[in-house]
Amino acid sequence: MLVPSVQSQSPVSLDIDRLKRATVFIYQASNADDALNISCVTTGTIVSSNGLILTNAHSIVQAGICNGDTLIIAISVDLDEPPIPKYRAELLQVDQGLDIALLRISRELDGRLIADGALPPLPFVEVADSTEVSIDQNITIIGYPDIGNEPVDVARGTITAFIAEPRGGSQSWFKTRATIPGTMSGGGAYNSNGQLIGIPTTVPVTLTNASIGCKFINDTNRDGLINSNDQCVPIGDFISTIRPSNFAQRLIRSASLNLDVQNLTTPEIRPNPIDPPSFSRLFFSPSVVNGLPSTVVGRLPANTNSLYLFFDYKNMTPETVYEVRVTRDGVPDPIFSLPPVRWSGSENGLWYVGSRDQPWANGTYEFSLLINGLAAGSQRITIGGGVTTDPTFSNIVFGLLDLQGNLLGNGYVLPSGSIASARFVYANMIDGSTWTTIWYFNDAEVARAEDTWEFGANGSNVVNLRPQGGLFPGKYRLELYINNALSATADFIVAGAQEGPLPTIFTDLGYTSADSPFEALNNPTISSFPAVVDVIYAKFNWQQIAAGTLWTLRWFVDDQLFYEQTSPWITTESGSNFLLSLNNPPDGTYTLQLIVNGLQILETTAVVGIGQLPIDRFSEAEGVTFSGIVLDTATRLGIPNVSVILITEDFSVGDFVWNQEQVFAIATTDRNGQFQFDRPLSLETPYSVIIEAQGYLPIAADGFELDEEVGNTLDIIIEMVRD
């Protein structure tokens, strides 16, 4: 019989073992002469019991030195031993800019396909809401410390800073001083509850930096030796940056639901950039508004807790590596520096990097930018002293003026027309000062005006752009100068037809069903679909949107984001029937949003089946952690290799015939007789149990339940009698 015996064992140690078992080692390899040559290695984390693995993209996707076509998954059978290769995996989802990839175990190690439902339940972790993370919070990092020759390991530290970028806002990166080896890249960073809050991310592997932490482990030239003449397997440098887990949520949801979004509209041919990537126009701002600087500053007072470096970028790609080195009074500042990471923005535009709600000590800071290891620009700012009373312009917003002089619109996207207006705030101005406005269209200056200030010290003012021929679709910029020094700048987009102060860019957004994409173009839009549908289509018309304009597709199911793609517009300026397909949608309510310059332009919703996901497809690793020890009744010694089998609530011991669908979880005791289930148990759910060991009488029981009095962990003692 099972004898519950709650032990005074640390819940943290129980969590650590569970998290270790959900941590895998990944080999990217290629076939050569009936052997596998390893090209890249990394750590990964299982995030669902059916074999979804979260990791970094740079050691998974075929590119540069990581040229393998096979992904081998090694797991820790014994936590005190190196991982053992067990499976092969396929790439399901990837965001190369964010350096995140999602894999699925799909084959046995020998290449045999694993049928649906045939994969044994695997240990997995709960993915937390990473916005709940705070500065100085303790974290635990789990991964493999070398090329797979050592057991899974643990590093501990704290969150030392948040780094902000446009792609993810104020928490685009977590910084830590924990000692994290490069091979732990792609592993897991956890909070004190054992929830995944981030993915440690090291410098991407490229042909130019492959020697960083490099090891020779393959005889790639087939000379019978493994030495420097062979291809080196990079293991990366030590890691101090963690990508928050919320970036991975949409990839996990999409894969869990088997959703596949396809863009069926043929783009115009657009060549890749041939000029090298570059940064320019570096300046500082104390805050960010809609991705733009609130104002431009040359110094800030003591007790500053928010600072951002802005700069223009050109010809960037997801394979580009950029870095930010920060010094204070000539001494490197590791807290606010950003080690080499992949570029997560678009090809051209305005970027920022910095932080808020964190103290900046007094001193002179220098921010140095690097692209692929080469200097790409630098800028300095001094922090200290009292609050400045320098003249300033700030908070530029754009729109159209009505007859009463009120600025109307959404602030950053204007319709095509004859005039654009901008309102800005001014403070501490001195009449008689020189001030200048400069307008740009697609980076070319189109208007300039220099005048003498005569509007008083504080208030707001409006400037106008009325170009000859009107406002053409594209990107515009306004710069405001005081005494020839840049004081404020902001960008806006012109797109769509004018209907009042707001632009009409996208129209006739809706869903339809069809047997083919061609048929979908002509079918009427509908708002509900049957419960079983292979594909639904979304389509819309567009007008006056210039090539290169950044726009975003965002798709939700039951208010859960599962698809988001921001990219430059690469089809015709105006047209009809932009077509998207969504394959295999389960029952749910689907909402599609179209966004330009960060502002939602249009939205539509449709219902599939009952309009709600029938089950919690986004299940988390919550419940009771169940562990214990199996003892020989006579000797009181632990019994190794005992199988403890939990049967699902739908079956009893008498029904059990070793079908996969009957097994909820299986645990095997280690050499000391200890075991722990990789899946948490639900409260008030009846489980049946079978315990078997060679040479001992089996144990079986029905109706084993846990209630709330158990808490989050249960440690039990099981005694077995020799037969």
pLDDT tens string 225-277: 666 666 777 676 788 899 999 999 999 999 888 898 999 987 765 656 678 99
d(CA 34, CA 463): 71
Percent of the chain with pLDDT over 90: 60
pLDDT value for 10 = 34
pLDDT value for 222 = 67
Which of the pair, 65 or 380, is modelled with greater confidence? 380
Q: Under 8 Å CB-to-CB from 9, ≥6 apart: which residues?
A: 713, 715
Q: By mean pLDDT, which of 33-42, 363-372, 450-459, 634-643 is the weakest?
A: 33-42
The set of long-range contacts for 439-444, using a CB threshold of 8 Å and a minimum separation of 24, is: 439/465, 439/467, 439/476, 439/477, 439/478, 440/476, 440/477, 440/478, 440/479, 441/467, 441/472, 441/474, 441/475, 441/476, 442/474, 442/475, 443/475, 443/477
Element (H, E) at 425: strand 420-427
Per-residue pLDDT at 32 exceeds 50: yes
Percent of the chain with pLDDT over 70: 89
Average pLDDT over residues 154-164: 95
pLDDT value for 156 = 93
Alpha carbon of 695 to those of 631, 645, 653, 692: distances in Å?
13, 17, 21, 9
User: Quick one: tokens of 251?
Assistant: 């990839």
Cα distance from N-terminal residue to C-terminal residue, the chain: 15
pLDDT value for 159 = 96
Which range has the top average pLDDT, 215-224, 225-234, 479-488? 479-488
Residue 3 pLDDT class (50, 70, 90 cuts): very low
The closest alpha carbon to 31, from 4, 6, 68, belongs to 68
d(CA 723, CA 269): 75
Indicate left, alpha or beta for 456 from its phi (over 0: left) and psi (-120 to 50: alpha). Answer: left
Which of the pair, 58 or 294, is modelled with greater confidence? 294
Q: Which amino acid appears at position 3 of this protein?
A: V
User: Quick one: tokens of 619?
Assistant: 């299940």
Assess contact for 472 and 549: CB atoms under 8 A. Answer: no
d(CA 458, CA 389): 12
Task: Provide the 3-class DSSP secondary structure of residue 71.
Answer: strand
pLDDT value for 212 = 56
User: Quick one: tokens of 255?
Assistant: 């894969």
Which of the pair, 113 or 684, is modelled with greater confidence? 113
Assess contact for 247 and 100: CB atoms under 8 A. Answer: yes
d(CA 67, CA 71): 11
pLDDT value for 472 = 95
Per-residue pLDDT at 6 exceeds 60: no
pLDDT value for 228 = 64
Q: Angle CA(650)–CA(653)–CA(654) in degrees, nearest 5?
A: 100
User: Quick one: tokens of 59?
Assistant: 């050691």
Residues 659-712 pLDDT 10s: 666 778 788 888 888 888 877 777 778 888 889 888 889 888 887 777 666 666
Residue 75 pLDDT class (50, 70, 90 cuts): very high
**What is the DSSP secondary structure assignment for residue 267, as one 8-state letter?**
P
Residues 591-605 pLDDT 10s: 999 999 989 999 999
For each of the domains in the chain, give its residue range(s) and CATH number, in order of start: 11-152+186-252 (2.40.10.120), 278-383 (2.60.40.10), 392-499 (2.70.50.60), 505-608 (2.60.40.10), 623-720 (2.60.40.1120)
What letters, b where the CB count within 10 A reaches 16 and e where it falls short, cover 688-704? bbbbebeebeebbeeeb
User: Quick one: tokens of 459?
Assistant: 């208030």
Q: What is the pairing mode between strands 713-720 and 625-632?
A: parallel
Alpha carbon of 95 to those of 60, 319, 592: distances in Å?
11, 11, 20
Q: By mean pLDDT, which of 454-468, 483-497, 547-561, 707-721 is the weakest?
A: 707-721
Average pLDDT over residues 617-624: 54
Q: Which amino acid appears at position 313 of this protein?
A: Y
Per-residue pLDDT at 2 exceeds 60: no
d(CA 386, CA 660): 70
Average pLDDT over residues 578-600: 94
Assess contact for 498 and 416: CB atoms under 8 A. Answer: yes
Residues 271-330 pLDDT 10s: 566 789 999 999 999 999 999 999 999 999 999 999 999 999 999 998 899 999 999 999
The beta strands (E) that lie in 574-671 are given as 575-583, 588-596, 599-608, 625-632, 643-647, 663-668
Per-residue pLDDT at 722 exceeds 80: yes
d(CA 271, CA 613): 42
